[in-house]
Amino acid sequence: IIKSSFLIVIPSSIIFGAVIFFLAEIISVRLFHAPSLTTTIQIFAIGVPLYANFEVVLGIFRGLQNAKYNAFLKNIFESFVRLILTILFIFLGFKVFGASIAYILGLGASLIFSLWFLYKTMKIFKGVETVPMIKEVITYSWPLTFSGMLFVVAGKIDTLMLAHFMDVRSVG
């Protein structure tokens, strides 16, 4: 299941991130009415595959019922790296661009560290024969994907609506 999850998430997240990257100008102009957001949207589009794969690793820890590793990686390590990098880039004068880059670099560092941590602590990659289960994983997870997207949109609908009808500076 783990290998199948990565085989699904890696290409789909790269495609989704590429679509956002190339549509960044349209998104920034038509949705947010702020052409200056194009670069920021493109930077965050690069983070889509990083975030998706990081969430797969966190899901593996949840599935193995190791909440302490999940909490450490997400709530402590990722937050700490992102905070330090954000402070550093803003201190160096990069402003929003620097904060965006810091977020992506923090995700990248978190993904690399979590993969290493998974490999070292769980030993799940050693001596395990993999059985492709792509069809089963897709069949099980596609309804969860849409419900997850709806959950995210429902949680952010107020911000999205404000961003659409007001200028970016007023929304925050």
Q: pLDDT digits over 38-95, tens only?
A: 999 999 999 999 999 998 898 888 887 878 888 888 889 999 999 999 999 989 998 8
How much of the chain exceeds pLDDT 90, in percent? 36
With 90 as the cut, is the pLDDT of residue 104 above it? yes
pLDDT at 172: 59
Q: Which two tokens stand for residue 32?
A: 């947010």
CB neighbour class for 21 (10 Å; exposed up to 12, middle 13-18, buried from 19): middle
Distance from C-alpha of 160 to C-alpha of 106, rounded to nearest angstrom: 25
Q: Which two tokens stand for residue 113?
A: 């560290």
Helical H runs in 23-37?
A: 24-26
pLDDT at 127: 61
* Mean pLDDT over the full length of the chain: 83
Distance from C-alpha of 84 to C-alpha of 71, rounded to nearest angstrom: 19
Residue 125: pLDDT band by 50, 70, 90 thresholds? low
Do the beta carbons of residue 70 and residue 61 sit within 8 Å? yes
With 90 as the cut, is the pLDDT of residue 150 above it? no
List the Cα angle 170/101/106 in 5-degree steps. 110
Type of residue at 33 = H
pLDDT at 5: 80
pLDDT at 64: 79
pLDDT at 168: 65
41 Cβ contact list (under 8 Å, min separation 6): 20, 21, 24, 27, 28
With 80 as the cut, is the pLDDT of residue 24 above it? yes
pTM across the whole model = 0.78
With 70 as the cut, is the pLDDT of residue 129 above it? no
Q: Tell me the average pLDDT across 28-43.
A: 89
